[in-house]
Amino acid sequence: MTAPADLSVVEDAEAQARFEDLIAQDSRIEPRDWMPDAYRKTLIRQISQHAHSEIIGMQPESNWISRAPSLKRKAILMAKVQDEAGHGLYLYSAAQTLGISREEMTQQLIEGKAKYSSIFNYTTPTWADMGAIGWLVDGAAICNQVPLCRASYGPYGRAMIRICKEESFHQRQGFEILLELMQGTEAQRRMAQEAVDRWYWPALMMFGPPDDQSPNSAQSMAWNIKRFSNDELRQRFVGMLVPQAEVMGVTLPDPNLKWNEAEQRYDMSEIDWTEFHEVLAGRGPANAERLRRRREAHEEGAWVREAAAEYARKQALKQKAVA
Ligand code: FAQ
């Protein structure tokens, strides 16, 4: 007779084989399915970092809501910032299906233990930064996130489909802000160019370290979470920007940027990875401010959480009484 311990080994091996089959067939893994611990952990890491990025990412733009140059621009910017909050919620919900609670993720963020995208630690001194964020930051997000719609984990891929639809509107509104400024006065053109100069390199860093220094890429690609490497996506992004920059009349701030016909890719200057690592270590231009504001917002929102919990408790009591 097989001992219970042996039986569980057989079951684990069968579950592992089923998981590997699903990945090999490029099918989706759903929350009900068995998955290796490392797969679960990788997804929690990436999805929670992504969710935190959306939530912290509201700050640089909300800085301009009260100072938008027209009612139309204010309405658009408010809608965009609200969309980012929505993206955060879809992503936290997707991460929760993997067994981590929203409270735990929030706690990791406000204690400064969780990563979020480096890009949101840069400041927004002028209105043109709203254009540069939409065009460059949302543009980079789309390049990175469209392939994530096919991520092997079902709840993540489905959240990304909805997010990408909204991101493409965001990217276009950023392009349109910059285009309008570039068709304006000399001072407006200068403001637009300076914002592009500020955001171009940090936007390239959003894709993560170069492939030979990206510890997670190989495994994430083997699991069909990531579909392209960091450098491949960076190249794709630059290829998307070049013709759009020409239409607008802005210059991408890289004197070495040139199409390499032989290698079918763009040659470009070396990215300042020291700056990237400084930002990741918490020493970027606005890291401290972003976390301080997030903590404040969390404390200020305590009464909302309490009221919602109390409402839920009363509703549950009512339903019990009816049943
Ligand atoms: N910032 O081995 P890899 C948005 C970390 S949302 C900070 O290459 P991986 C929308 C990485 O986590 C923007 N950390 O890692 C919006 C890892 O650290 P760990 C966010 C970074 O996961 C627009 C370590 O470096 N998007 O913009 C960064 O395979 C406007 C080694 O790196 C997503 O999160 C970085 N830039 O690839 C909102 C997309 N890059 O965890 C508001 C989903 C790398 O081992 C306004 N995420 N790191 O301690 C991904 O696609 C991937 O996670 C990457 C990194 C590509 C970000």
What pLDDT, on the 0 to 100 scale, is given for residue 323?
Answer: 82
Contacts of 168 (CB under 8 A, 6+ apart): 142
pLDDT at residue 8, as a whole number: 74
pLDDT tens digits along 129-157 = 999 999 999 999 999 999 999 999 999 99
Q: Which range (18-22, 200-204, 206-210, 319-323) has the least confidence? A: 319-323
Alpha helix locations (H) across the chain? 4-24, 37-56, 58-62, 71-96, 102-110, 128-132, 139-145, 154-182, 186-205, 217-222, 230-248, 273-278, 287-300, 302-322
CA–centroid distance, residue 180 to ligand 1 (Å): 31
Lowest mean pLDDT among 9-23, 214-228, 249-263: 9-23
Quote the radius of gyration of the chain (alpha carbons, Å): 22
In terms of phi and psi (left: phi > 0; alpha: psi -120 to 50; beta: otherwise), the region of 252 is: beta
Residue 4's pLDDT band, with cuts at 50, 70 and 90, is low
Q: Which of 221, 236, 87, 59 is nearest to 164 (CA)?
A: 87
Query: Which atom of ligand 1 is least distant from the CA of 49?
Result: 34
Nearest residue (by CA) to ligand 1, atom 52, is 46
Does the beta carbon of 137 sit less than 6 angstroms from any atom of ligand 1? yes
The total number of structural domains that make up the chain = 1
The reply to whether 1 falls in a domain is no
Whether 144 lines ligand 1, by a CB cut-off of 6 Å, is: yes
Query: Would residue 3 count as lying in a domain?
Result: no
Query: Residues with Cβ < 8 Å from 186, sequence gap 6 or more?
Result: none
pLDDT band at 9; cut points 50, 70, 90: confident
Q: How far apart are CA 156 and CA 95, in angstroms?
A: 8
Ligand 1: atom nearest CA of 144 is: 51
Residue 208, domain extent: 8-322
In angstroms, what is the span from residue 157 Cα to ligand 1's centroid? 16
Domain-embedded: residue 142: yes
How many Å lie between the centroid of ligand 1 and the Cα of residue 207? 7
Q: Residue range 89-106: average pLDDT?
A: 98
pLDDT-based confidence at residue 310 (cuts at 50, 70, 90): very high
Examine residue 284 and state whether it is found in any structural domain, yes or no.
yes
Q: Assess whether pLDDT exceeds 80 at residue 91.
A: yes
Q: What is the mean pLDDT of residues 258-267?
A: 96
Identify the pLDDT of residue 11: 78
pLDDT of residue 5: 58
What average pLDDT is seen over the chain? 96
pLDDT score of 175 more than 60: yes
Q: Is 272 within a domain?
A: yes
Atom 46 (ligand 1) nearest CA: 57
Cβ–ligand 1 contact at 205 (below 6 Å): yes
Q: Which helix (H) or strand (E) holds 265?
A: strand 265-267
Mean pLDDT of 181-185: 98
Structure tokens at 192: 């637009």
> Is the CB of 214 within 6 Å of ligand 1?
yes
* pLDDT surpassing 70 at residue 1: no
Residue 2 lies in a domain: no
Expressed in angstroms and rounded, the spacing between residue 45 Cα and the centre of ligand 1 is 10
In the three-class reduction of DSSP (H, G, I as helix; E, B as strand; rest coil), residue 152 is classed as: coil
pLDDT in tens, 223-256: 999 999 999 999 999 999 999 999 999 999 999 9
Closest CA to ligand 1's atom 28: 208
Q: What's the rounded mean pLDDT across residues 1-16?
A: 72
Q: Is the pLDDT of residue 21 over 60?
A: yes
Would the pLDDT of 2 be above 60? Answer: no
| Ligand 1: centre distance to CA 238 (Å) | 18
| DSSP codes joined into one string, 246-262 | HHHT---S-TT-EEETT
Atom of ligand 1 nearest to the CA of 134: 30
CATH of the domain at 302: 1.20.1260.10
What spacing in Å lies between the alpha carbon of 115 and ligand 1's midpoint?
A: 8
296 CA from centroid of ligand 1 (Å) = 24
The ligand 1 atom at the shortest distance from the C-alpha of residue 163 is: 10
> For 51-79, how does the pLDDT look when each residue is reduced to its tens digit (9 = 90+)?
999 999 999 999 999 999 999 999 999 99
Query: How much is the average pLDDT of 96-113?
Result: 97
